[in-house]
Structure formats: structure tokens, C-alpha cells
Amino acid sequence: PSGTWLLYLPCTWSIGLAAEPGCLPDGHTLALFGVGAVLMRGAGCTINDMWDRDYDRQVARTASRPLAAGEISTFQSFVFLGGQLSLALCVLLCLNYYSIVLGAASLSLVITYPLMKRVTYWPQLVLGLTFNWGALLGWSAIKGSCEWSVCLPLYLAGVMWTLVYDTIYAHQDKRDDIVIGVKSTALQFKEHTKQWLSGFSLAMLLSLCVAGMNCNQTFPYYSAVAAIGSHLAHQIYTLDIDKPEDCWKKFASNRTVGVLLFVGIVLGNL
């Protein structure tokens, strides 16, 4: 699913940037984080559906989810969540001590994110803080600690990217969200959405440039950043915020953004 890719790709960026010059990213670490992304994305969905089962029943797109539809009980979902988190813990314990502590620190964000749409119009910001934790964790898994001059700009770039794609995603549900009383950046920005998305995209590109300069990246990296800028500009320019099918298409295309950057990082390192 798109969400698993969007969780995994910031991990690959960080792992790629942490590789030694002239070397490919560590394949074992990439695979480990891939398994972790599948498990934690799944756990996040379970938690989200547990919090939102009453809301999901009122939205056509989510009414068929197992909890909302009454196909499974809350207790069964707790058991399933326990299994997901236990497996994810096994993955985390394969990392160094610094990364274990850093990874465990993200759990509070995973648990509380689904509540944010009840209290703020900026739940997408909290999702960005949650989804891009791998931009910190990938580097520490390779190096044993974070190089903040690289990791923080990379993390900020990921957060800005999430604000772009998840605001687009939120426009699919804005009519239902108004009816049931939940909040989103789509409802906050309204017809000014494209200006906000342009600002977030610019901040993402600048942050990527800072991260690249602080770890001595080379021409292929900056070429990838330029390609990402072109992709985002086209995505925002052609977006129709009142057509759910177009919003979904644009949202899903963001996997290309993440893959472009990873390829640029690998080629830049080589």
C-alpha cells in the first residue's frame, strides 16, 4: 500500500546518506527497515481504526473497515495490535542501543496521532512527525548515533513532504469530515491549498539541499532534488481539490518522489 512506501522511503534516504562514499547502502539494514515499515504501518492503521471506529462508520470510504463494520471486536483488535508491536519490537532489537531508544520514542506519536484530528486543524503535521521518524533512525542504525546537521534537515524535509501529500489526501474526505466534526489541513487551507502546498514543497527542497551539503553529496543528488521539485510543481499545478479521484492519484504519485530521492542519494554516493 502507498502508506507503507511513504513510511519506508524516509528510512531509505537516511540509510543511503549514512553509507560511506563510493558504497551502496547496507542491504541488510534496508531489508530490516522494510519489514519494520510494514509492521509499524500496520500497527498505526490498527490504532487509527480503534480510535476512529465510530467516525469510520459515518464515512462511505471507511465504513467497510473491519472494526467499523463490526466484523471484529475491540478485544480482537488489541490482540492483533499486540502481535504487530511484538514483531516490530523484534526488528527494533536487531539495532544498536541508541537506535532502540530512539525507535521506542516514536511510539507515543504512533498512538496519539489519530486523536489529533479531534483537537487541531493540523493533524497532518503530527503525521509528518510520526511518518518521518525513519529519517533519524536510519542514520543512527548505521552510524550508532545521529549526525543532527544531516538528520534534522532530512527529517524536516520529510515532514514538509507529508504536509503536501496528506493535505491532498485529506481533500478526498473533506465533505464527510465537516459533517462528523473532524479537522484537517484541507479544511484549514480551503481554496488557498495550492499556495500552502507550494510553500511546503519549497521548504522541503531547501531542507534537502541543506542535508546534502552537510554530508557532501554530489551532482546526482541535486539532480534528483531538482526532479522532485519539477514533480511537485506539476502535481500541485494540475491538482483538482474537488475531485476525490484526482486527489487519490496525486497522493499515490508521491511514492515516485521518495524513490527519486533514494536513487539520487545512491548515485550521489557512488
The pLDDT of residue 1 is 82
CATH number at residue 214: 1.10.357.140
* pLDDT per residue rounded down to tens, the chain (270 residues): 889 999 999 999 999 999 999 999 999 999 999 999 999 999 999 998 998 888 888 877 788 889 888 899 989 999 999 999 999 999 999 999 999 999 999 989 988 888 899 899 999 999 999 999 999 999 999 999 999 999 999 999 999 999 999 999 999 989 888 888 889 999 999 999 999 999 999 999 999 999 999 999 999 999 999 999 999 999 999 999 999 999 999 999 999 999 999 999 999 999
What amino acid occupies position 243?
A: K
The pLDDT of residue 62 is 82
The pLDDT of residue 247 is 96
The pLDDT of residue 52 is 85
The pLDDT of residue 63 is 84
Range of the domain at 36: 1-269
The pLDDT of residue 53 is 86
Domain count, the chain: 1
